[in-house]
Amino acid sequence: MSEAPAITALADETAYAEAVRLALDASAAYYGDGTSTLDDDAYDRLVRGIAAYEEAHPDQVSAISPTGKVAGGAVVGDVPHTVPMLSLDNVFGAGQLADWAASLERRLGRPVEVWSVEPKLDGLAVSARYRRGRLAQLVTRGDGLAGEDVSHAIGTIAGLPGELAEPLTVEVRGEVMMTTEQFEAACAKRAAHDGTTFANPRSAAAGTLRAQDRPYVCEMTFFAYGVLPPPAEESEFASTLRGLPHSEAMRWVAAQGVQTTAATPVAGVVAATLDEVVVRVEHIAGARAGLAFAIDGIVVRCDLPADQAQAGFSSRAPRWAVAYKLPATEKITKLLAVEWNTGRTGVIAPRAVLEPVELDGSLVTYATLHNVADIARRGLMLGDSVVVYKAGDVIPRVEAPVVHLRTGEERPIEIPEVCPSCGDAIDASQERWRCVRGRECRAIASIGYAVGRDTLDIAGLAESRIKQMLDTGLIADFGDLFYLTKEQLLGLERMGEVSTANLLAAIEEAKSKPLSRVLCALGVRGTGRSMSRRMAQYFGTMDALRAADAEAIQEVEGLGPEKAPVVVAELAELGPLIDKLVRAGVNMTEPGITPRPERAAEADAERESGTETEVEAEEAAPPLAGKSVVVTGAMSGPLATYSRNEMNELVERAGGRASSSVSARTDFLVAGEKAGSKRTKAESLGVRILTPEEFAGLLADLL
């Protein structure tokens, strides 16, 4: 976990004044409709720079400075809050968290008895006021003292019921946001209406919450993080609620039917020590990439009301709670150009060229744009300020243009009229455009991929050699390799007796590779190494796979209704090549796997005869059934010669799921020499760690 990132340095009073105004404008837009000129990280750096300048020059502090103010002092409202809705101070990294906790405990004069740890949701803070159990009013945070009435949004926010389970008068505080699914739906509705999309889920939620005259309705989501009785009420209920620890108060809120994070992978928990807090922080951070909603940190607070009361408040934030900020997963940068590339299967893919920006610990200069339809849906133009998004280990992608930052100098993105690789026509009948020559367009790349170490593993076929064979007409695809003769190879320049014998031996060896490797070599669109293994393990033989329709193929994990028809069409297109491989004697079965039709027939027979038992079913279960496994570091012992892809194959043959990143959902980390950060993360999350030797023992029957 990183410590505080760099601040924006301010050289003099003029730079300071400009920074204050920029921060104020950005904050007003952020808390207004979500369309800030700065991303979160840039804003945080700017405000820290302002604070540093003010500390060094206390006589120059501006009256409108955003430091020490809720919402940066940029937002006002006309509905007073019953109790101020304050911001949280930030820490960056475990060191700063420890310093904050030590300072808090010095203020208390004793250790904190119980900590509460929960995700910091990236939405808009609102107060939901219930009167006698009915939702009567919604108010934004505003400047912390008063907010804006947005009660018109009642009925459009999932997780915020119109009635509580009991007819009580309370105020529930929480975040209004959009899930990934809601955001995509909102963008589709807006695009259909005016041709534009929202920049990100937060701006979509901000604009939607305030909109009163849109001809379309977008759903949002609410997660509660606090509850208050009426301030002046002295009833038994009010006294009881005020006396509840935060964790118990949130359980009460959930029991009333209001959504909390309790049912999510990042549910709030309590911890007795700071070490336990750090473990939970790492758990939530690790789960971030897989969540259906955005978080930008973790809130750590005193769970007990007595600790909170003793710690008190500063002018803008409680002293008993802090926000542990996570690295930014999205930034605003410039779209400089779009490159068009033809892949090995003939698919034409656009790639965004970006003004370099640091994102989630790496410098990003390129991002995926998927296809022409995606560019059109997002309304992108060259020169746009764009939101670039990255979560976990995925490739960065351009989320949307920041439309309000356009200057008028932006230009349309030129869409190719012919294949950028060979100049032939483009098949635009599907969203993913393709050269009409298909794999022939990039035959060198297609063959090179097929013969690589992680596919058929035919050594001695460098790109130059493949090009030589294509130019001389010896091959047109990788299937032709299996028909090459010694005389043909000796006729090639720089091919002698030894190199020819070695190449022919490697080609012969490739014939015995398992079906999963052959499928991967074919390069079926929409699949890769992992999916090829899953298909091979599910169907067992090429014949069974080719006979399957789209509905049957959907039974393979990860092949849904969109991908399955593509796989069927691809296998049909690849039919002549597959037949060529079969004639050459290339293996078309997966070792140890019974073909799918035979398995189904056996299961039917067992059910009819009544011989199927739970014990037999358990014995048939592979050793890693349903387990997620990450492999890192150099292998040793019985696995010393295994490549990373071979390890992933082993995991999936054992019924597990090979993954590249450690998260809270990881079951095992196989850690070899120099395991590095993945081992550290697994330790913090409590993931079981195995040595290569221990893992080999677990899978001894498969080695």
What type of residue sits at position 580?
K
Say yes or no to pLDDT of 70 above 90.
Answer: no
- The pLDDT confidence band at residue 447, using thresholds 50, 70 and 90, is very high
180-194 and 201-210 helices, crossing angle to 10° = 60
**Percentage, residues of the chain above pLDDT 70:** 90
For the chain, give every domain's residue range: 13-75, 83-325, 330-414, 442-510, 515-620, 628-702
Q: Which fold has domain 442-510?
A: DNA polymerase; domain 1 (1.10.150)
DSSP string, 592-605: T---HHHHHHHHHH
Say yes or no to pLDDT of 180 above 80.
Answer: yes
Average pLDDT over residues 576-593: 92
pLDDT at position 557: 82
Other Cβ atoms within 10 Å of 538 Cβ, number: 20
- Look at the pTM and tell me if it is higher than 0.85: no
CB under 8 Å, gap of 24 or more: what pairs does 333-336 form? 333/357, 333/364, 333/385, 333/386, 333/388, 334/383, 334/384, 334/385, 334/386, 335/380, 335/381, 335/382, 335/383, 335/384, 335/385, 335/386, 335/398, 335/401, 336/382, 336/383
Q: Identify the CATH homologous superfamily for domain 515-620.
A: 5' to 3' exonuclease, C-terminal subdomain (1.10.150.20)
pLDDT for 406-432, tens place per residue? 888 999 999 999 999 889 999 998 888
- Residues in the chain, how many? 703
CA 72 to centroid of chain Cα atoms: 30
**Percentage, residues of the chain above pLDDT 90:** 45
pLDDT for 500-541, tens place per residue? 999 999 999 999 999 999 999 999 987 888 889 889 988 999
8 A C-beta contact, residue 266 and residue 290: no
- The pLDDT confidence band at residue 2, using thresholds 50, 70 and 90, is very low
d(C-alpha 456, C-alpha 519), whole Å: 10
- How would you class 606 by CB atoms within 10 Å of its CB: exposed for 0-12, middle for 13-18, buried for 19 or more? middle
Which is higher by pLDDT, 266 or 404? 266
> Which range (68-82, 270-284, 478-492) has the least confidence?
68-82
Average pLDDT over residues 276-285: 91
- The pLDDT confidence band at residue 105, using thresholds 50, 70 and 90, is very high
> Which range (16-25, 254-263, 651-660) has the least confidence?
16-25
- The pLDDT confidence band at residue 580, using thresholds 50, 70 and 90, is very high
Q: Strand 170-177 and strand 220-228: pairing?
A: antiparallel
Which is higher by pLDDT, 490 or 679? 490
What type of residue sits at position 278?
V
pLDDT for 118-172, tens place per residue? 999 988 999 999 999 999 999 998 888 888 899 999 999 999 999 999 999 999 9
pLDDT at position 73: 52
CA separation, residue 20 to residues 23, 30, 57, 73, 696 (Å): 5, 15, 14, 11, 60
Which is higher by pLDDT, 290 or 134? 134
- The pLDDT confidence band at residue 56, using thresholds 50, 70 and 90, is confident
8 A C-beta contact, residue 455 and residue 449: yes
CATH architecture of 83-325: 2-Layer Sandwich (3.30)
8 A C-beta contact, residue 369 and residue 386: no
- For 451, which DSSP code? T
- The pLDDT confidence band at residue 544, using thresholds 50, 70 and 90, is very high
Average pLDDT over residues 483-511: 93
- The pLDDT confidence band at residue 618, using thresholds 50, 70 and 90, is very low
Q: Identify the CATH homologous superfamily for domain 330-414.
A: Nucleic acid-binding proteins (2.40.50.140)
pLDDT at position 5: 52
* Secondary structure (H, E, C), 238-274: HHHHHCCCHHHHHHHHHHCCCCCHHHCCCCCEEECCH
d(C-alpha 157, C-alpha 154), whole Å: 7
CA separation, residue 536 to residues 246, 515, 530, 594, 602 (Å): 51, 6, 10, 10, 19
Which is higher by pLDDT, 48 or 281? 281
pLDDT at position 228: 94
The CATH class of the 628-702 domain is alpha beta
**Rounded (5°) CA angle 317-319-322:** 75
d(C-alpha 32, C-alpha 13), whole Å: 28
Say yes or no to pLDDT of 593 above 80.
Answer: no
Which is higher by pLDDT, 336 or 664? 336
Average pLDDT over residues 271-276: 93
pLDDT for 373-406, tens place per residue? 888 888 899 999 988 887 554 578 888 788 778 8
What type of residue sits at position 393?
D
Say yes or no to pLDDT of 595 above 70.
Answer: no
**If DSSP codes are grouped into helix, strand and coil, which group holds residue 125?**
strand
Active site residues: 120
d(C-alpha 683, C-alpha 328), whole Å: 23
Say yes or no to pLDDT of 110 above 80.
Answer: yes
Do 330-414 and 442-510 fold alike per CATH? Answer: no
**Domain covering 13-75 in this structure, CATH number:** 1.10.287
d(C-alpha 462, C-alpha 553), whole Å: 35
